[in-house]
Structure 1
Amino acid sequence: MKKILAACVALIVIIGIVLSLYKTDAKSFKKNNSYNAENIDTLKVYTDSWDVKFKKSNSNKVTISAEGKQKDKAPVTFQKDGENVVISQKAQINSGFFEGFTFGNQGGTIYINVPESGMNNIEITNEDGNVQLSEVSADNIAVENNSGDEKINNVSAHTGRFASKDGSLKVENSSFEKLNITSESGDNVMKDINSLNVKVSSKDGAISIKDMTEGKSLAVNTISGDIGLSYKKAPSALEIAAKSNSDITFDLDGLKKSNDGEKLKKGKIGEGSNKVSLSSVDGSIKVTN
């Protein structure tokens, strides 16, 4: 038994030494390039672990830069593919005995600056990193997020689609004709949003919408989590329905209730041409001016 324990200790020490050598082997990585925005239809970003930050550019070109750590091969590539620009970051996996493991501080950030005039399409597929978009406009923005936080600020688009499996989403001071948010786990916070059509769906997480501008359609549902909704200006033509097994509170000027049950409340303001539907299986719902 003593020999087995001694052998295990020795093996652990050897592995520790090898790991330390791998950790110190990571080198600094920098890369940058620029593209004429007029020749780009879609910006496609694929990341395994690095953060992605979009910002407005001061030029009429799309400028891309990446800074972080690399083990052997370049962790980030830029490629012009027809009318698309593809930015790809892959986690570096060691071969041999340590195949399947990543070592060292290999994190980094990809910076993408786009012209003020905007882009046609922005598509982001993120595995495990944070995504940030600020002062960006595009016809269509789509983000597929596996694990990581998303921050959207001062963004405008015809359609915005944000899907997340595990991570929080924060959207502020932004406008969309159509906004679709789906979340499996994580809170969704929206503030000062202007959108005609909004759909938010969550399995597990609170949904907070503050200073909302009255639009044509708003549908919010969650399985487990509270829903809070407040308007920037008191609605003038709203038909609202809320369903929950928990508390439901309406505090809206001019609301005429047609149903005031414990689990279901309905009402109308004015002609009720704009529709709001809220539901939570296990969470409270509160709506105010």
Structure 2
Amino acid sequence: MRKILTTSLVLLTVGGFVMGCQSVGKSTSYNHESSYEANRIEEIKINNESWDIEFKRSDSPNITIACEGKRQNNKSDPVTIDQEGRKIVVTQKDQGGAMAGFTFGKKGTIYISIPDQGVDTITLNNDADDIKMKDVSALNIAFTNHSGYETIEGLSADKGEFTSKDGELKLKNSSLNELTVTSGSGGSYLNGVTSPEMNITSTAGEVTVKEIDEGKRLCVETESGDITVSYITPPTSLNLAASSNSSDISIGLNGFKESQRTENAVEGTIGDAAQTLELVSRSGIIVVK
């Protein structure tokens, strides 16, 4: 009798769990679009839990925010858009309580279209899922990312700050007066980026900076990742210092004159050494060409 009762309770529990999953799994489509006059907006702030985010340039004078995805709770919207004075705040929160994590596949995408110099500041706090940006211009860009992939191309900004814990950053064909990248375990891949001031730090991720012009200052520091730097045209005035405990440092620049070389460090100059390149890796390989 006790065995029959125990078995019944187990079946009831499993049945209830399955029914609960089925209930949570039910979703309906969610679509919303809002438009704002760009000359009335100074900042866009996005707080995102698990939807994809896509920024793009718009030929319209208006800022448009469109949402396409799934609604898990018919009593509330998965995305809210509020205007607070001259700031737009976009908030995406997962629905379904403790069972929200059982939702499979993409939950939705937020599309943000911005005219040239349409806003001063774009701020994004992203927990998961991917970020894309193409041909957007703004004075200030500040992205904080937990685990999503960031793919950014054609960005024009005065100041850009990209902070990521586990996600990967790809920044291509962009121009910034000042660029700061801080990464945990994700890789940082820059290609064709123009910036007089670049500071890149990483705990464990690889750092690759390709096809760059000679800038005032480029500093890269990693705990364990490899570092690769390549110039689109050979630098003519550079002060270079590279160090790694791996003892694997390769400098292939025309006109480079070593002033000091040890097992773990290389220093030298090109021309009158007006620009600075500093590379530090605790255990990774360093290549400059």
Q: Same fold (TM over 0.5)?
A: yes
Distance 1:18 1:216 in 2: 59
Deviations 1:196-226 (CA, angstroms, capped at 9, x unpaired): 0000000011101110111000000000110
Aligned residue pairs, count: 282
Q: Deviations over 1:65-101 (max 9, x none)?
A: 001011221010111101101111111133xxxxx23
TM-score, structure 2 as length reference: 0.94
**Residue 25 (structure 2) pairs with residue 27 (structure 1):** no
Q: Would you say the 8 A contact 1:189–1:207 is kept in 2?
A: yes
1:23-172 to 2 correspondence within 5 Å?
A: 23-24=25-26, 26-72=27-73, 73-94=76-97, 100-102=98-100, 103-104=102-103, 107-172=107-172
Paired position in structure 2 for 1:254: 255
Bigger drift between 105-114 and 175-184 goes to 105-114
Instruction: Check whether the contact 2:152–2:172 (CA below 8 A) recurs between aligned residues.
Output: yes
Structure 1 residue ranges without an equivalent (≥5): 95-99
CA apart distance, 1:16: 1.1
CA contact (8 A) 2:63 2:118 kept: no
**What is the CA–CA distance in structure 1 between the aligned matches of 2:103 and 2:230, rounded to whole Å?**
46
Q: Which residue is 1:181 aligned to?
A: 181
- Output the amino acid matched with 1:285: I
Query: In 2, Cα distance between the equivalents of 1:268 and 1:118?
Result: 42
Q: Is the 8 A contact 1:118 1:136 kept in 2?
A: no
* Aligned partners of 1:47 and 1:129 also within 8 Å: no
- Show CA shifts across 1:159-187 (max 9, x none): 00000011100000001100000011111
**Alpha-carbon shift at residue 127 of structure 1 (Å):** 1.1
Structure with the largest fraction of strand: 1
Contact 1:62 1:113 in 2 (8 A): yes
| Range moving further from structure 2, 41-50 or 2-11 | 2-11
The alpha-carbon deviation at position 6 of structure 1 amounts to 5.3
Structure-2 residue corresponding to 1:13: 15
Residue-by-residue CA offset, 1:211-265 (whole Å, 9 max, x unaligned): 0111000000000110000001000100000010110000000001001212010
Identity of aligned residues (%): 37
**Normalized against structure 1, the TM-score is what?**
0.94
Farther off after superposition, 127-136 or 263-272: 127-136
Residues 45, 88 of structure 1: 8 Å contact kept: yes
Q: Distance in 2 between matches of 1:5 and 1:201?
A: 56
Alpha-carbon distance between aligned partners in 1 of 2:275 and 2:176, rounded to the nearest angstrom: 16
Unaligned 5+ runs, structure 2: none
- Determine the structure 2 residue equivalent to 1:277: 278
